[in-house]
Structure 1
């Protein structure tokens, strides 16, 4: 479960992405357009230390981009190249925001979602001692057979920053679709994580054979 805070964030996540996205090789769209949120989902970090959120965003009239992010209370060693920026959170303090494709906590959560169908985290606020659930803005599902073994992901060995972005770990290769497109006739043949929102259903990520 993901506990959310009613907090001020400066700069906001979308402001960070407006500045960061145009510098990515896989980005398509107006480099000066403001980034807006279309939908999103979260994963749980079993250790409860790292926030894991995937945003589906659009800049102006451009295509939808999938941007997984991790939020940390301290810098991630060796991950300067994956840093999107820092933000000041009125409850949690300074947060380091990373492109999650370079974060091993995200890789482990994504592998579990694809292979074991762990799904997305329920999001909620604490209001006067009560839990107030925020409705999901999209659904995710996997086509992996029940009982599929989830390997221990371990370290990230290499990332190919393209579309899809390929995350190569000790035990599994993961592919994150940067521009989800339901009209694309090419479909992965391995275990696939699919997203559905606002009448759209399309693959979001899949596993590859190392």
Structure 2
């Protein structure tokens, strides 16, 4: 379960994405002079410490980008190279925003969702009357059927980029298309999703057992 706290945040998520995304090596020539949000999906941190949200962005030339972020209440030691920015949140205080592909909490959650057939986290709004479920517009689900006990322990993620694809080596190998293509064939171990305007599932990530 993810909780959305009404707040003013500076910079906004869209502002930080608009500033950071144009400088990334995985764009493949996409026109990112402006980007807009199509949707996003979240995973749960079992420890309740790290927020995880993958943003789906539309570019000026009609492409769809996938950008995982993690939100932390304190700096992650040794992760200065994957820090995107800091954010002021009027409810949660200062937040440190990281490239999720480098964050072991995100990588673990993604592998677990793929291998166990997991799905996006439900998002609740915090109100004076309690938590209220927000309608989901982006839906993702893993293809696997493993039990949680069978998911392997992971190593520290090592990230590389090849064209418009990001590869994460963490004891298993994760592959994330950063420019999403609706015709990408589904793999045996994959995460697929839909969002507004894309009702046919699209492959968002795949995992195999070799790193």
Query: For the aligned residues, what is the CA RMSD?
Result: 1.7
Segments of 4+ in structure 1 off by > 4 A?
none
- Verify the 8 A CA contact 1:39 1:138 in the aligned structure 2: yes
Tell me the distance in 1 between the aligned counterparts of 2:114 and 2:187. 13
Q: SS of the counterpart of 2:22? A: helix
1:164 — aligned with what?
Answer: 165
- Verify the 8 A CA contact 2:116 2:143 in the aligned structure 1: no
Tell me the distance in 2 between the aligned counterparts of 1:172 and 1:81. 22
Tell me the distance in 2 between the aligned counterparts of 1:190 and 1:102. 24
Tell me the distance in 1 between the aligned counterparts of 2:59 and 2:10. 20
Tell me the distance in 2 between the aligned counterparts of 1:160 and 1:118. 25
Alignment of 1:10-29 (within 5 A): 10-27=10-27, 28-29=29-30
TM-score normalised per structure 1: 0.91
Deviation at 1:60, TM superposition (A): 2.4
Alignment of 1:1-210 (within 5 A): 1-27=1-27, 28-33=29-34, 35-147=35-147, 149-156=150-157, 158-162=158-162, 163-169=164-170, 171-184=171-184, 187=185, 189-197=187-195, 198=197, 199-208=199-208, 209-210=210-211
Tell me the distance in 1 between the aligned counterparts of 2:22 and 2:62. 12
Deviation at 1:20, TM superposition (A): 0.8
Q: Residue by residue, what CA displacement relative to the aligned partner does 1:121-167 show, whole Å, maximum 9, x if unpaired?
A: 110012223221111111112222354821122422x2113332111
Tell me the distance in 2 between the aligned counterparts of 1:3 and 1:29. 32
- Verify the 8 A CA contact 2:117 2:145 in the aligned structure 1: no
Q: Residue by residue, what CA displacement relative to the aligned partner does 1:106-127 show, whole Å, maximum 9, x if unpaired?
A: 0100011000122111100122
- Verify the 8 A CA contact 1:17 1:84 in the aligned structure 2: no
Tell me the distance in 1 between the aligned counterparts of 2:49 and 2:147. 28
The worse-fitting range, judged by mean Cα deviation, of 79-88 and 142-151 is 142-151
> Aligned pairs, how many?
205
Tell me the distance in 2 between the aligned counterparts of 1:188 and 1:138. 18
Structure 2 segments unaligned to the other structure (5+ residues): none
Q: SS of the counterpart of 2:41? A: strand
Structure 1 segments unaligned to the other structure (5+ residues): none
TM-score normalised per structure 2: 0.90
Q: Residue by residue, what CA displacement relative to the aligned partner does 1:17-40 show, whole Å, maximum 9, x if unpaired?
A: 11111111111433432x211011
